[in-house]
Amino acid sequence: MSEPRFKQAAQRLFESHERRERFAPLPPELAPHTEEEAYAIQDAFVALRAQKLGAIVGYKVALSSAEMRRFVGVENPQAGAMLETTLRRTPASVRAADYVRLIVEFEIAVEMAEDLPAADAPFSRERVARAVGAVMPAFELADDRNADYAELAKHPFELIADNSWNEGAVLGYPIKEWQALDLAAVRGRASVNGKLAGEGHGADAMGHPFSAVAWLADHLAAHGRGLLRRDVVITGSIIASLPVRPGDLVRFSVEHLGDVELRVD
């Protein structure tokens, strides 16, 4: 894919977001046919959004379960970038009207205390653990823009190009003394308006949160980038994602890691 073509695709995506259009595949002459083409579009799209939303301060891991990858028709997880002004701390509130269709995902987030430079790849879970400064529960804020999920497998790289639908995250309080915890075994519970909405365990996203971080660090290294100190990584949903509406109060608690809260106005 030539540079003008992926920049045209990114501009098309950017304008579609600005017009609040429904998620739809790019036109054939601009659509990505490989992961690499999709990430080239994503880079250009994120650069356009960063002019208003700030610099990259973290990343998301999407499709962290084999079931979701089969559903979308891809073999690998997918990455997206998070921008400075889209990260919030609990308790947070957002306006549903600021999104086409807001969905939340229930994740374990990590904050890096050391760089994982590209030159050191590949990364093991153990190497990641030595670089993690804090762990916390988190919501991912995503906007699926009323996508037709049944059509995703026909266009498996469009989700990457659209930055994996990321619109930021709400982070819990950072837990720096996490080393004695079995993060694969911790249980998370989600509720909406006081009613249980789902449960999961840390292992439900790629087996362990740090496995997701290792995958992301390797992905960035393959593109000549490193995961940097203070970057935040949300490691994949451990409970099925949920659409939310005005008036909803959403809570997510992870044993030993605390709670995170989001009110939707």
What pLDDT, in 10s, does the model give residues 68-101?
Answer: 787 777 888 999 999 999 999 999 999 999 999 9
Give per-residue pLDDT as tens, 96-117.
999 999 999 999 999 999 999 9
* 33, part of any domain: no
- The angle subtended at Cα 158 by Cα 157 and Cα 161, nearest 5°, is 95
Would you place residue 1 in the very low, low, confident or very high pLDDT band (cuts 50, 70, 90)? Answer: low
**Helix, strand or coil, per DSSP, at residue 9:** helix
Judge whether 2 lies within some domain: no
Range of lowest pLDDT (147-151, 203-207, 253-257): 147-151
Is residue 218 one of the residues assigned to a domain?
yes
Give the chain's radius of gyration (CA, Å).
Answer: 17
The strand pair at 56-62 and 78-83 is best described as antiparallel
141 located within any domain = yes
HSE-CB for 93 with a 13 A CA cutoff: 8
Q: Is residue 28 part of a domain?
A: no
Q: What is the pLDDT, as a whole number, of residue 73?
A: 76
Query: How far is CA 25 from each of CA 33, 102, 107, 148, 262, rounded to the nearest angstrom?
Result: 12, 19, 27, 10, 31
Whether residue 42 is contained in a domain is answered as no
Q: Pairing state of beta strands 87-89 and 166-171?
A: parallel
Higher-confidence position of 156 and 123? 123
Which DSSP state fits 118? G
CATH number, position 161? 3.90.850.10
Structure tokens at 94: 């957002």
Is residue 242 scored above 80 in pLDDT?
yes
Q: Convert the pLDDT of each residue in 56-68 to its tens digit.
A: 999 999 988 777 7
Q: What is the average pLDDT score of the chain?
A: 95
Q: Which residue has the tokens 């891991």?
A: 61
pLDDT for 178 equals: 97
**Does any domain span residue 176?**
yes
Condensed to tens digits (0 to 9), the pLDDT of residues 194-215 reads 999 999 999 999 999 999 999 9
Please report the pLDDT score of residue 181 as a whole number. Answer: 97
Say what the pTM is: 0.95
- Smallest CA-to-CA distance from 135 within 261, 263, 260, 262 is with 260
On whether residue 115 sits in a domain, the answer given is yes
How does DSSP assign 13-60, residue by residue? HHHHHHTTPPP-PPPTTT---SHHHHHHHHHHHHHHHHHHH-SEEEEE
> How many domains are there within the chain?
1
Task: Name every residue whose Cβ is closer than 8 Å to that of residue 221 and which is 6 or more positions away in sequence.
Answer: 116, 117, 118, 119, 120, 121, 122, 123
Please state, for a pLDDT cut of 70, what percent of the chain lies above it. Answer: 99
Is it the case that residue 258 has pLDDT exceeding 90?
yes
CA separation for the pair 253, 139 (Å, rounded): 10
What domain range includes position 154? 55-264
